[in-house]
Amino acid sequence: MSYQLINRALEAYGVGQKSILIKQELPSWSTDLHYKIEADDKTYSARFLKENRSPNNVFGEITDEILTEQTKFCGFLVEHDIPFMRHVQALNGEPYTIVSREGEKYRFIMFEWIEGQHLTLCDKDMAWKFGNMARRFHDISETYESAIFPKKSHLIGYQQFSDQIGKKVNSTEIPYKSELQDYLELANKHIATAKTNKMDYIVQSDLNPLNVLWDEKRNIVGIVDFESIGYGDRIEGLAWLIKWYTRTEGINSMEMSSEVAKAFLNGYGAFDFLGIDDHERLTSLLWLSGCLNWNFVKTTLTILDTHNVESLNAHLHAYKIRGEKLISLLPKAFLYI
């Protein structure tokens, strides 16, 4: 069925007439279908986007208009020497095509494949290199203006997450739920601290380590995310990058280093624009990125459905430790400057 769907989609691109090979089915956090394919001896990233991609739509849907704008931004990055994946247009010049399977509509979009490896554990050298690349990405993005992408702070999403859990807590009979209420109170304090009237909106992508490719010499050779492209606040984006690029034992580990954080911030040149007044805000944003994200929310709601007090306590304890580790990264990193 996958081969037939891909074959049908490629007709609009005029490729695959000699040969089509599905090299790999790639994992996706959403309901998208994602493949590494070889068509007429050339390798591509081929993705099918459903209309309803995820149970979590807090940070926005991808409308047809937004998807078109995202492909334009991909080209803009390539033109400015950012090693972003190259978008492939259909023969009629459209950025994507529509295919259906079993009564469901998919938007099919294709990019040239970039060969490289994902490295999710960071040392100081890697953190500096990525910080430097992220700064280039952000500075170039600052010159891109779009009337399509909405300007929306992540804080809106965090507040929705907090409210979603709070509503569930109030309707659930579970002993010791006051611990969760205390956690939400802490989260809401961080949301309040992170708020500002001076949002530095730039177009950003999801630059987490699973979207970045490195060569054998640990140089960045590709960035492969497109579906998260949209306006965001620079410092909110910086908080996510600090969380990701200070992990010394991989993306699934909570071992983090303030020395690696310092290397990342120096590579980014963060102290060119970060002042002492930004420190408290960035610290709260860093906590929120790790402790009130969708993974935390999803797991919390699932545990509340089971009424398992032991699981809830263990879950909250793990995230409290995570929050303490995240917050400990910045004071030390700032003191060395």
User: Does the fold of domain 124-335 match that of domain 2-112?
Assistant: no
Residues of the chain with pLDDT under 50: 59, 335-336
C-alpha distances in Å from residue 98, one per residue of 92, 113, 191, 203: 13, 21, 40, 26
Q: Count the neighbouring beta carbons within 10 Å of the beta carbon of residue 277.
A: 8
- The whole-number pLDDT of residue 55 equals 58
- The whole-number pLDDT of residue 170 equals 86
- The whole-number pLDDT of residue 273 equals 85
| Nearest-angstrom CA–CA distance, 319 and 184 | 12
Query: Going along 178-285, which residue ranges are E strands?
Result: 201-204, 212-214, 220-223, 230-233
The residue ranges of every structural domain in the chain are 2-112, 124-335
> Is 246 in contact with 260 (CB distance < 8 Å)?
yes
CA 29 to centroid of chain Cα atoms: 10
This prediction's pTM: 0.92
- The whole-number pLDDT of residue 335 equals 47
| Nearest-angstrom CA–CA distance, 220 and 215 | 7
> Is 181 in contact with 168 (CB distance < 8 Å)?
no
Q: State residue 123 phi and psi, 5-degree precision.
A: -115, -175
- The whole-number pLDDT of residue 3 equals 87
CA torsion through residues 202, 327, 219, 29, sign: negative
CATH code at 124-335: 3.90.1200.10
May I ask the CATH class of domain 2-112?
A: alpha beta
